Each structure stands twice: as C-alpha cells, then as structure tokens.
Chains A and B, each alone.
Chain A
Amino acid sequence: MDLPSMETMMLDRASGLTAGTADEVRIATIVDGRGRAGKTTVANVFVQFCRERGANLRVWNADRQNETHSLSVFHPDAVRPPSDDPDDKGAWLEESFDAQVRERFDSVLDLAGGDPLVRLLARETELVPTLEQHRVRLVLWQVLGPDVADLDYLKLSMEAGLFAPATLLVLNAGLVRSKRSIEAVFAEVTGHKVFVDAVAQGAQVVWFPGLVCMKGVAERGLTFAEAKRGIVKPGQQRFVLFDQTRVEIFWEKHIPAFFAQIPADWLPRMADRAARSRGGIQ
C-alpha cells in the first residue's frame, strides 16, 4: 500500500468518527467573553449543531465556575482540566492542543468568563501561527452582550495576539429581553472603537439568535433536538406547545441561518456542508 497516495482514515478514539486526512486543516474554536455574556449557551449550540452534522468534535470545558449549566451537563464526554490551578490548566491546554495536532480532530474550548488561560498561552507561544504551521486553525468566537465592558475581553484578545483573522464577533441578541430594540441596546457596543477596529482587522460579525425559553431547555438538560420533539425526562414538566414550536423554529431555521453566515473554513468539517444552511440532518 502506498499510504501517501491514499486517504488516511483515522479513528478518533473519543467519538469513533473518522478524522479525515492528516493534511486537512482542523479547527480549534475558542469561545471567549465576559461572564454572563452567554458563552456556554453559544458553545452548547455549536457542539450540538456540528455533531448533528457528523463533525468529529472534542469538547474542552475549562469553565469550572459554571456547574449547573456547564457544557459537561449536556456533553458528558467533555474533557476538563484537572483543577483550577493556572499551571495545571496551562499544561492541560498545551497537551490538548498537542493531541489535536497529532490525532487530527476539531475542538471547541469553553472558557470561564475572563479566564486568561488562552491569552497567556498565546503570548508565550505565538499560539495562532504555531498551530497554523501544524494545520490547526484557531478560530476565536468572542461572545458579546450589550454592555461596553464586554469589549474589554475583545481588546485583551487583540493585544495577546489571539486576534487572528479568524475571529467571530458573536452579538448575543438573546440577552435583549422583552420588546427592547436590539439595535438600540447594542448600539454602544457596535459603535465602539474597539468593535469597529476589530471589524477593520478582519473580524466577522454575526447575531446569535435569541430563544425565549432557552432557560427552560437548559434547566431540563435537553438537547434542542429533544426539546423540539417535546421529549420529557422523568420528573420534568412537559414543554408548553408554543415553547416547543419556538425551539423548533430556533433549531430548524434561525441556527442554520446563523451558521450559514460563518465562513466555511472557520467551522469544523461536517459530513455535509450544505446541511449547515438547511435544517436537515444528513
């Protein structure tokens, strides 16, 4: 067998999914943002969406502050650092990236609000170009709420060199309650110099859609696919009809539209890229 001329199919130990060729670029998604901006919600949607479409995705949960609604609740295979000690976490992250380079999977890292973990590593190692050399593209998802203080972390990421061209500014419209104008509420953030400069440096901006009953879905520990089907776990109350419909519209329409706006080469490899923009599972 002439291995270099054949597609090398490797099994990912965690998921059993195929990992593609060694030459293909893998994606390391970092979900960052201030506390309460909605990072874990965005990360949870990211994982569910990509995995539904066959992505070979490892979940790294570095948020030990958030237990009730952490990524580990929805994705028990999520890998966590051994402790909150900065040295332990730093070593854990380095080993995780090293494994990604060797085993060729995609990853998503959920950070605790304000955690400097990745920024510190970026400063020490020129993280972005180092990973690119090994064909791992680091994509930063900076989740922003309507508070100007949310931009502090974007500014820090820019200064730490985390600000690669592959940066997504995720404006979390789900934080805007009731009938308030989303445009007006976010005006201070989207008009701020830090935000405009980030766009000038190549960041892409997307609105993350809101879901009125998001809290209900999270508290029930349901995936969005389960919630839209009206699945009830033992001891839980059924979703009211309109909330179930809301989840269906969110999951079948709004979230595919959200992902359709993101450059394809900033996303994990999925079984059918066309399914990104449709609600269907391939």
Chain B
Amino acid sequence: MPFAKSWARLRSMTNGRRQTKAILKAIARGEDRSSLFWWMVEHHDEILAAAEGRRIQWGTFCTEATRLGLTDTKGKPPTTRNARETWRQARRAVEEARERAMAKPRAGRPGSKYPSWISPDWRPQIVEQPRPVAEAGSRAPYSPVVRSEAFSGDADGQPRSELVEFPTVDPSGAPLAEGHVFYRGQSMLRRVAEQLARIDRQAREMDRFK
C-alpha cells in the first residue's frame, strides 16, 4: 500500500530526525565547534554505514566537504588532519550523548504523551535475560554495560560520587576483552575509562562556570 510505505518511510525519517535532534540537543553547543563537526554529528550513522568498517578516505572526504561548504573553526576548508580529528570528536560527542540518553528513563512515565500513531496502551516488549549463577573460578556473567562508581570533585572541592555506564561491547555488538570497556570511540581498560570520564566531567563542570 503506497500510503503505508511512504508513511513508514516518513516515520523512520522522523524518528531518525527526532533521535538526531535529541542527540544534538544533548551535545553542548560550544563556540569552538565547526560546521564540519555538526555535519558529522548529524550524519554520524550514515558516515559509519558508508565506511562499512573500512578507513575513511579523508582526501576524497575533504573534497566533498569543501563542495558542501563545510569548514573548520576558522572558516577554512578542512584539511585531512582536521577532518580526521573532527570525526574523532564527533564520534565521541555522539557516543556520550547516547550514553546520557540511555541513562534517562524512557517513555512510559505517568503523564508522558505518545505520538498520535502509537496507541497509548502500547508498551515495549521486555525480554528478561537469564542470569546464570557464576560458578567458582568461572567468568562473571556477560553484561553489555558495566557500571562504575566514579568520583569527581566539584568547584567547591566536595567529592561527588556518581555511577557511570560504560559499554562492554563495541559498536558492532562484539564483546570486548575482559576488563575492557568502550569509551571515546575505542576499547580501553575500565580504570582508564573511569579516569578519562572523570576528567571529562570535571572539564564540563568547569565550563559551566565560565
């Protein structure tokens, strides 16, 4: 049915745009962000899909980016080095925004409004994952996310503890080595990720007071 098809396409586009908007909103707008950076954030998934796990040809990419009028923070056409670094920052920003979004309670809260094409009685199907009891000497049950308690100081010097979630799988869903988590677009030891996350939070805290 043509209408259903176009409606489905519209819905996916709208949902995709809505998710993108949510991500964009979650990423703090800093004066140092270039048009290239925001374009990369908005097209993050498409870029990953187009790369298909291969290295991006930055020379070709920069040619196309220049054609689109995308620039670096100085208003100049991006160089390959700049584009590579900007892509790293865009991936990190999207990843962190998605992690924050995962931490927020989803729709289903009392009083929340549903889009008109979804029945107010709809609820997501919840699948309970079996939790095997670990035997002595065996590995801990696999979990896609690990929570770490992280401490960071605030501007008043008071230590603040908060739970931080780190994925234990890479973007393709493959589990990482034991003791490793995915942070800033790469696999790393959890204690390293905890420390990097702490300094990132502290930097954002300092930026709040600027």
Contact = CB atoms under 8 A, between A and B. Distances in A.
Interface in A200-256: 200, 204-205, 207, 209, 253-254, 256
B207 to A, nearest CB: 5
Contacts of A179: 31, 210
Interface string A140-175: 000000000000000000000000000000010100
Contacts of B200: 183, 190
A181 interface: yes
Contacts of B199: 171, 190, 205, 207
A184 interface: yes
A199 interface: yes
A181 B30 contact: yes
B133 to A, nearest CB: 33
A196 interface: yes
Interface string B73-90: 000000000000100110
Interface in B152-187: 153, 155-157, 159, 184
Contacts of A200: 188-189, 192
A196 B157 contact: no
Nearest to B200: A183
A173 B199 CA distance: 11
B206 A207 contact: yes
B154 to A, nearest CB: 8
A205 B192 CA distance: 10
Interface in A18-38: none
Interface in B4-47: 28, 30-33
A191 B88 contact: yes
A191 B28 CA distance: 18
Contacts of B210: 179-182
Contacts of A254: 155, 157
Contacts of B28: 181
A129 B30 CA distance: 45
A144 to B, nearest CB: 11
B148 interface: no
Contacts of A190: 196, 199-200
Contact of A181 (B31, B159, B192, B202): B31
Interface residues of A, number: 28
Contacts of B203: 173, 181-183, 186, 207
B31 A257 contact: no
Interface in A66-91: none
Contacts of A183: 30, 200, 203-204, 207
Nearest to B186: A196
A277 interface: yes
Contacts of B204: 183
B98 interface: no
B66 interface: no
Contact of A173 (B92, B156, B192, B206): B206
A256 B157 contact: yes
A261 B160 CA distance: 12
B63 interface: no
A199 B195 contact: yes
A187 interface: yes
A185 interface: yes
Nearest to A277: B157
B156 A253 contact: yes
B188 A182 contact: no
A182 B157 contact: no
A182 B207 contact: yes
B32 A180 contact: yes
B207 A257 contact: no
A277 B198 CA distance: 19
Contacts of B207: 181-183
A209 B32 CA distance: 21
A34 B157 CA distance: 28
Interface of A: 171, 173, 179-188, 190-191, 196, 199-200, 204-205, 207, 209, 253-254, 256-257, 260-261, 277
14 contacts: A180-B32, A181-B210, A182-B203, A187-B89, A190-B200, A191-B88, A191-B89, A196-B188, A199-B195, A205-B195, A254-B157, A257-B153, A260-B153, A260-B157
Given A200-B189, A253-B157, 12 more contacts: A171-B199, A179-B31, A181-B32, A181-B203, A182-B207, A184-B30, A185-B32, A191-B89, A200-B192, A205-B199, A261-B153, A277-B157
